[in-house]
Structure 1
Amino acid sequence: MNATEKFYLPVDGIFEMFNSHTRGSRITHPVPQRTALCAVSQHPKVSNIPKSGMGIVKTVKGRWRQQEKRVVESRSCSANQQVTTERLPKGSVDLLELGLAKPKNCHRIVVLGAPKVGKTNILRQFLGKEFEDKYEPTTEDFHRKLFHIGGKAYQIDLLDAASERNFPAKRRLSILTGDSFLLVFTLDDRESFHEVCQLYDEIKVAKSKIQKFRNPERLTAVICGNKADLEAPRAVRRTEVTEFLGEDVAYFETSAKDGTGLDDAFRALASLGGLPNETNPSRHQLVSILTYQSLCISQRGRGGSRTRGLGAPCAATDPLARRPSFTSDLQLVLKSRNNKPERCHIQ
């Protein structure tokens, strides 16, 4: 009996002291019923606990405090995550509607071409994403990339109009709303090149009608002969491209897989569209959408100052970008020119 008392009584005292420090936490000590009765009648004082027992007390108290600290930190992190979520944009960010960019700094690039030519992966390169081997048919993709260059805000919309291939009216509307065009074919498929030639002519005709040009200016289009990394024999030669599309056409042999020629193609898109060369993916740093918004807001807070060379060029992709409705696109076409066309050129 004495041996049993010497074993259990100090432990019971430890947990009594521990429970007094934890203020009634639900920690119990599994003691046999017979031994527990003995402990009630012959319970030693805390001060009589051996040094080994006090060491256990200190260890348990330390671990308990660490656990409480982790709980507090976890709650703090959850609160911060909730604040961050509340700060995320509620919808797509349109710099023109927000008054953060001038109309001339808002640009739309329309991407056209046959299926499986690599349009999506070229766009992924422009957006700063990685190449994807798996092919999935694109119905319609709309992307928005926002830039902060030299203290000014720029917005580039990218429309991959793959689903409009069999819908001439919808394709015509996309063409009329485009400022620049990226036409893609593959060097190992001659039929895809013929389709690009037809699209090129369609764009020239549509733009000349809506803009009422007597002498149409040079078309702001870049042609990409993609999949230059393939070892298969080429079905289209550079001489044929210039023969069908003209000597002054902006043509580049590219590879969306290893990046060959894309830097030159993106530089040509910027030059033809009147955009800064820093819109080229290799000339700016990608930041989050929240960081970009803070830059624009802080810049506007300086009284509208637009000082050249202010900050390093950076860009962000809009994760909630959605294609504008066809109604709004049609209104944009009709309002974009001072002279309203005699009839609708969409059909």
Structure 2
Amino acid sequence: MEVNATQKMYLPVDGILGMFNSLTGHHESDIMRPVLQSAALTTVPQHPKVSNISKTSMGIIKTVKGRMKHQDKRAVSLSRSSSSVNRQVSTDRLPKRSVDLLELGLTKRKNCLRIVVLGAPKVGKTNILQRFLGKDFEEHYEPTSEDFHRKLFHIGGEAYQIDLLDAASERDFPAKRRLSILTGDTFLLVFSLDDRESFDEVCQRLNEIKAAKAKLLNLKHPARAPVVICGNKADLASPRAVRRSEVMEALGEDVAFFETSAKDGTGMEGVFRALATLGGLPDETSPSRHQTISILSYQSMCIGQRGRRGSRGLGAPCAAVEPLARRPSFTSDLRLVLRSSTKHNKPERCHIQ
């Protein structure tokens, strides 16, 4: 029984298709289908020689391979082009520099507040700041050299800016620490309830703040300092080294004192409200009182409402953390101190000495 030419031709074509499927992982695609179909329809003499079938097969392989290479090159080109566009869009959408609402003319000086955080190492300063920024508690401890954060708010149609300076690196540098104290509007002093030495350090810092502010304002006696004090790690089961009665006796009844736990959130809301009150800011600056949005959304909101002085925002309070915030230079801080001192008296010498 004879097999016709068409049947003979389909055998090598099917074999070629199977070979490509196994080698490339492709199924019968739009690239291969027209090539194989055209080969199948080609007139072949009856009783072809093996050499003719081999030549035909090789021709199909070369054609398919050429088309696949062309498609691969095109795919790579499109992929590179798409990646380039995505990178460009991503870069364009990032803020180009740190957002300072006062410099941009988007808020008033009274709506800007710098909080300076002081305390001994390992008392939980960083985790308290993380709570304020809306981030989670970190179990792993890493020594902080210096942290500067900026959180921007939009409340009741007005923009607010809070700068947070954790001056941990200035613990052994009195002049630098004094400069940070002089530039601070309010202060957060933190000690650990299970560490007596950390409490003694807080007492020293409180006296230092009072003396520096009195000198800056040319006062004969230290005035009440805008300070909030945290006795942190209230969640620990170990015996306390410092009791509340001792704190009030040492620091005075007029100091805002809170027993807190940065780990479970105990007392943190009261701390943030007290800082807002001392700084003359709305209570909505507390993390539980506002919605967190991206910095790009915040910028769009502020720029969109720029110049609309007669309208009050009806949206819910919101805030964004500035990802590019950097501490102003010491030169800038010193100029700020000198400008502040000239409002009250002529400085006779450098105030950080």
TM-score normalised by L of structure 2? 0.80
- Give the total of aligned pairs: 313
CA distance, structure 2, for counterparts of residue 261 and residue 37 of structure 1: 85
The one-letter amino acid of 2:322's match is: D
The residue aligned with 2:187 is 181
CA distance, structure 2, for counterparts of residue 40 and residue 197 of structure 1: 89
How far the C-alpha of 1:323 sits from its partner, in A, is: 0.7
The one-letter amino acid of 1:35's match is: I
**1:5–1:102 distance in 2 versus 1, CA, 3 Å:** same
How far the C-alpha of 1:84 sits from its partner, in A, is: 3.3
Contact 2:193 2:232 in 1 (8 A): yes
Structure 2: tracts of 5 or more residues without a match: 18-26, 41-49, 61-70
CA distance, structure 1, for counterparts of residue 58 and residue 258 of structure 2: 91
Structure 1: tracts of 5 or more residues without a match: 44-64
Q: SS at 1:315's partner residue?
A: strand
The residue aligned with 2:65 is none
1:333 aligns with 2:331: no
1:5 aligns with 2:9: yes
The one-letter amino acid of 2:9's match is: E
1:193 aligns with 2:211: no
The one-letter amino acid of 2:166's match is: D
Contact 2:260 2:268 in 1 (8 A): yes
How far the C-alpha of 1:85 sits from its partner, in A, is: 1.9
CA distance, structure 1, for counterparts of residue 176 and residue 306 of structure 2: 37
The one-letter amino acid of 2:229's match is: I
Contact 1:142 1:157 in 2 (8 A): yes
Contact 2:147 2:166 in 1 (8 A): yes
The residue aligned with 1:128 is 134
Contact 1:289 1:318 in 2 (8 A): yes
CA distance, structure 2, for counterparts of residue 207 and residue 8 of structure 1: 94
How far the C-alpha of 1:8 sits from its partner, in A, is: 4.3
How far the C-alpha of 1:179 sits from its partner, in A, is: 0.1
Selected match of 2:155 from 149, 161, 167 = 149
Selected match of 2:121 from 115, 124, 130 = 115
The one-letter amino acid of 1:160's match is: D
CA distance, structure 1, for counterparts of residue 175 and residue 316 of structure 2: 42
**1:113–1:12 distance in 2 versus 1, CA, 3 Å:** closer
Contact 1:5 1:39 in 2 (8 A): no
The one-letter amino acid of 1:245's match is: L
The one-letter amino acid of 2:53's match is: T
Moved more, 243-252 or 209-218: 209-218
**1:36–1:300 distance in 2 versus 1, CA, 3 Å:** same
- Mapping for residues 1-347 of structure 1, pairs under 5 Å: 2=4, 3-8=7-12, 18-19=30-31, 34-37=52-55, 79-214=85-220, 216-302=222-308, 304-307=309-312, 309-337=313-341, 338=343, 339-347=345-353
Percent identity among equivalent residues? 67
The residue aligned with 2:24 is none
- How large is the Cα RMSD of the aligned pairs? 3.2
Q: SS at 1:224's partner residue?
A: strand
How far the C-alpha of 1:134 sits from its partner, in A, is: 1.0
Contact 2:132 2:286 in 1 (8 A): yes
**1:100–1:139 distance in 2 versus 1, CA, 3 Å:** same
The one-letter amino acid of 1:143's match is: H
CA distance, structure 1, for counterparts of residue 285 and residue 304 of structure 2: 21
The one-letter amino acid of 1:196's match is: V
CA distance, structure 1, for counterparts of residue 132 and residue 208 of structure 2: 25
How far the C-alpha of 1:7 sits from its partner, in A, is: 3.0
How far the C-alpha of 1:101 sits from its partner, in A, is: 1.0
Contact 2:211 2:222 in 1 (8 A): no
Q: SS at 1:98's partner residue?
A: coil
**1:95–1:4 distance in 2 versus 1, CA, 3 Å:** same
Contact 1:149 1:314 in 2 (8 A): yes
The one-letter amino acid of 1:108's match is: R
CA distance, structure 1, for counterparts of residue 243 and residue 295 of structure 2: 42
Contact 1:334 1:340 in 2 (8 A): no
Cα offsets for 1:159-182 (capped at 9, x unmatched):
000010010000000000000000
**1:10–1:260 distance in 2 versus 1, CA, 3 Å:** closer
